[in-house]
């Protein structure tokens, strides 16, 4: 994308008559390149680069990207077919429609996130939602348990040996948070109502009505954005037209997949902007410059997976649609639509190892034709760009290929004499056994795990990271926190059984027997400490008057 930006700037500088509306950029899937386009061309905050002044518009975006309410519909599909984890509900609460419906601000969302992390919410709205997973007898770490802790924390403190049924008060819930706690409870109640209706085998009309009702219960839009709700209702109604059979949620999700995904539209074309669109039929209209982006081997021509329910795909016949052949035709149409210049970009080298990568097969055939027509022309029409934008080769030649002032500063610094670096002792290889959770953490987030496990560095915000899985074991620090709370309760004179029950209700222990083992191990150590210090604990505090002559004061 950065190479495309520099090439376009060079074209506009060399030809003063060329305008952004004369350029068409096509790629196999626009959603893949949308965030890269926003970063390279500064569609958000303006970048210190001349490319930020280009007028760029994205076409063929999925409705989920252009209509936040349809993204909420997709989120409801995910929640109805998942465990309703803490992070999923928090992400739903942060969507624009839900935020406006319940009046959540940025500070309030951060406050809710803190409550969720400290109340032990993991997954499941209540024990009933855990029945499909065989854990309906485990009530801890559900949204219901966490919400009860928040609501009870309004009236009392966690330090007091007070609980209501299975709810232990949560600390740091002020009287000013009553309204926020009520809105959170309302969100969870409405979400539970919608997800309960999104289960079983129902007629098509039931699914459509439930999704529309979910939008009414969970979302709200500004008056200027009222079109979003109208469009969402229209898409849902059109998806349910002509359907009367009873189907399941997976079928409804497949029914809505095409509507929620990207599809060709006529918006953002011929508006005076540089248009980026998907490589689909009826896009190859004449332009002075046509750019084909992302024609990598294995990505283009595109392949369509065979659906198990598609009987025709099992035994294809001559004349049926072939996606790969259609893509080859689209490439030919794009070439014929170019009035003056065609620019084709593909990944020519492995980003890690630097090994050369071949172009897509149709593009390789095109280069073979060029080389056959003009011997030796392949080397003239193929340009290999450096991997890094601050490479010196990006700023050599007349004129230089790059316009990036920030990368130019980096290139100048790279050619200056380097100062000797201080001697560093490399980390030795990791020896000894590796815990399973450390291995899982490394696979999920290699950089974060390396910083935490090898360099002993904790990134900002990691302490409040939301966990979506029930704890099976506790690490040393977590066991120490359990013991610290049990010891503090014993020093206050609380009964051991009350302190251990409070630890169960807090939601920090693993479920069932796993948590009982931890509590027995840590509780035995705490009991030994309390027994050894019983004499000091038994002394009742008393007030003593002290009279001391300080001999004057300065």
User: Mind listing the pLDDT tens digit for each residue in 317-369?
Assistant: 777 777 888 888 888 988 898 889 999 999 988 888 888 888 889 998 999 99
User: Mind listing the pLDDT tens digit for each residue in 85-133?
Assistant: 999 999 999 999 999 999 999 889 988 998 888 888 888 888 888 888 8
What was the pLDDT predicted at 268?
A: 56
With residue 274 as reference, give the H or E element that holds it: strand 274-278
Say if residue 399 is preceded by a cis peptide, omega within 30 of 0.
Answer: yes
CATH topology for 2-60+264-301+324-408 is: Rossmann fold (3.40.50)
Every domain of the chain and the residues it spans: 2-60+264-301+324-408, 65-260, 434-469, 476-538
What was the pLDDT predicted at 344?
A: 92
What was the pLDDT predicted at 90?
A: 92
Q: How far is CA 323 from the centre of its chain?
A: 30
CB 73 within 8 A of CB 67: no
What was the pLDDT predicted at 538?
A: 61
Residue for token pair 């409550």? 115
Q: What is the mean pLDDT of each run of 10 residues along the chain (554 residues)?
A: 90 90 87 84 68 80 80 88 90 91 90 87 87 84 88 74 72 83 92 90 86 91 87 83 76 79 60 81 82 88 71 75 84 89 90 85 90 86 88 86 87 84 71 80 82 74 67 80 82 78 80 83 83 69 82 64
User: Mind listing the pLDDT tens digit for each residue in 198-243?
Assistant: 888 888 888 888 988 999 999 998 888 888 888 888 888 887 776 6
What was the pLDDT predicted at 291?
A: 92
Q: Give every CB contact of residue 252 below 8 A, 6+ residues apart in sequence.
A: 77, 204, 207
Pairwise CA distance, residues 125 & 459, whole Å: 30
Pairwise CA distance, residues 145 & 511, whole Å: 14
What was the pLDDT predicted at 450?
A: 83
pTM of the predicted structure, to 2 decimals: 0.71
CB 291 within 8 A of CB 27: no
Q: Is 2.40.50.140 the CATH number for 65-260? A: no
Buried-state track 353-375, b at ≥16 Cβ within 10 A, e below 16: eeeeeebbebbeebeeeebeeee
One fold for 2-60+264-301+324-408 and 65-260 = no
CB 274 within 8 A of CB 55: yes
CB 337 within 8 A of CB 287: yes
């Amino acid at each position: 994308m950065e190479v495309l930006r520099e090439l376009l700037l060079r074209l506009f500088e060399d030809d003063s008559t060329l305008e952004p509306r004369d350029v068409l950029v096509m790629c196999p899937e626009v959603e893949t390149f949308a965030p890269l386009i926003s970063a390279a061309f500064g569609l958000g905050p303006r970048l210190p680069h001349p490319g930020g002044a280009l007028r760029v518009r994205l076409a063929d975006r999925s409705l989920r990207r252009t209509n936040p309410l349809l993204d909420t519909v997709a989120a409801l599909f995910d929640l109805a077919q998942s465990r309703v984890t803490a992070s999923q509900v928090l992400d739903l609460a942060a969507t624009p429609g839900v935020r406006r419906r319940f009046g959540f601000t940025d500070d309030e969302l951060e406050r809710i996130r803190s409550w969720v992390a400290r109340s032990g919410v993991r997954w499941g709205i209540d024990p009933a939602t855990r029945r499909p997973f065989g854990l309906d007898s485990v009530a801890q770490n559900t949204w219901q348990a966490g919400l009860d802790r928040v609501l009870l924390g309004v009236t009392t403190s966690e330090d007091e040996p007070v609980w209501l049924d299975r709810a232990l008060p949560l600390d740091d819930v002020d009287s000013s948070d009553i309204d926020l706690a009520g809105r959170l409870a309302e969100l969870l109640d409405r979400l539970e109502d919608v997800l309960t209706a999104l289960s079983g085998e129902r007629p098509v009309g039931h699914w459509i009505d439930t999704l529309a009702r979910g939008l009414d219960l969970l979302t709200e839009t500004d008056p200027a954005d009222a079109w979003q709700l109208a469009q969402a209702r229209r898409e849902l109604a059109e998806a349910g037209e002509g359907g009367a059979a009873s189907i399941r949620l997976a079928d409804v999700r497949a029914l809505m997949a095409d509507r929620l995904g990207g599809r060709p539209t006529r918006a953002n074309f011929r508006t005076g902007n540089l248009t980026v669109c998907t490589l689909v039929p009826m896009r190859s209209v004449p332009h002075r410059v046509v750019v084909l982006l992302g024609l990598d081997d294995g990505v283009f021509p595109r392949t369509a997976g065979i659906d198990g329910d598609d009987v025709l795909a099992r035994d294809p016949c001559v004349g049926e649609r072939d996606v790969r052949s259609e893509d080859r035709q689209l490439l030919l149409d794009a070439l014929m639509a170019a009035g003056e210049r065609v620019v084709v970009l593909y990944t020519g080298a492995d980003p890690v190892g630097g090994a050369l990568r071949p172009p897509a097969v149709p593009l390789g055939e095109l280069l073979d034709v060029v080389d056959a027509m003009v011997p030796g022309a392949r080397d003239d029409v193929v340009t290999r760009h450096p991997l890094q934008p601050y490479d010196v080769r990006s700023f050599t030649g007349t004129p230089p290929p790059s316009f990036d002032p920030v990368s130019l500063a980096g290139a100048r610094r790279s050619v200056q004499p380097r100062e000797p670096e201080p001697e560093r002792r490399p980390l030795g290889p990791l020896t000894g056994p590796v815990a399973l959770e450390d291995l899982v953490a490394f696979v999920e987030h290699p950089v974060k795990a390396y910083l935490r496990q090898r360099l002993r560095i904790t990134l900002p915000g990691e302490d409040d990271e939301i966990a979506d899985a029930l704890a099976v074991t506790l690490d040393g620090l977590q066991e120490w926190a359990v013991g610290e709370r049990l010891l503090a309760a014993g020093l206050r004179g609380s009964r051991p059984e009350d302190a251990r029950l409070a630890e169960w209700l807090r939601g920090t222990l693993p479920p069932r027997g796993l948590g009982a083992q931890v509590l027995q191990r840590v509780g035995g150590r705490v009991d030994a400490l309390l027994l050894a210090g019983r004499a000091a604990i038994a002394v009742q505090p008393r007030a003593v008057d002290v009279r001391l002559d300080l001999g004057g004061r300065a």
